[in-house]
Amino acid sequence: MLRQLLLGAIVSLGNIAIHAVAVTIVVDAARLLASWDQRHTRLWLVAIMIAAVGTLLVTHVAEVITWSFAYWLLGVAPPGADLLDLAFVNYTTLGYGDVVPVQHWRLLGPITAMNGILLFGWSTAIIFEILRTAMHMRKLS
């Protein structure tokens, strides 16, 4: 159990680092877009949200791929299992479908889910803050 917790924490921290880099990129992109001419405010707002949400979506996929790579390295799933599917199911807290981790790695599923919930919450907070700031800037112009 301790080994699962340790390895799960390492992968989670790796994903937190990936997410931190992505959030920095999103914030920088939002600042760049905020400097655009705002005569077409709807288009401006759409551009900001597409850039932010699109970047975060790609980031979440990269984090799921990170989990699936860890699953492969550790031999978490039975032979022939779709590791990307298993990682997506866990990360999104969808629940198990047809693949269940092998007995001695079962704790990695809930750790993956906890990581996904945390990072989805962080993304939601960033999206909300960018939207709030953009709407505030729109009122000022």
The alpha carbon torsion through 48, 50, 55, 59 (nearest 10 deg) reads 130
pLDDT, position 124: 97
Q: How far is CA 70 from CA 53, 81, 94, 108, in A?
A: 26, 14, 19, 10
Q: What is the DSSP string of 3-62?
A: HHHHHHHHHHHHHHHHHHHHHHHHHHHHHHHHTS--SSHHHHHHHHHHHHHHHHHHHHHH
pLDDT in tens, 11-20: 999 999 999 9
pLDDT, position 137: 72
pTM: 0.89
pLDDT, position 115: 98
pLDDT, position 33: 73
Tokens of 92: 């999104």
Kindly report the average pLDDT of the chain as a whole number: 89
DSSP 3-state assignment of 77?
Answer: coil
pLDDT, position 140: 61
pLDDT, position 109: 92
- Which parts of the chain have pLDDT scores under 70? 36-40, 138, 140-141
pLDDT, position 83: 94
Please tell me the distance from the alpha carbon of residue 58 to that of residue 11, in angstroms, as a whole number: 18
pLDDT, position 39: 64
pLDDT, position 10: 98
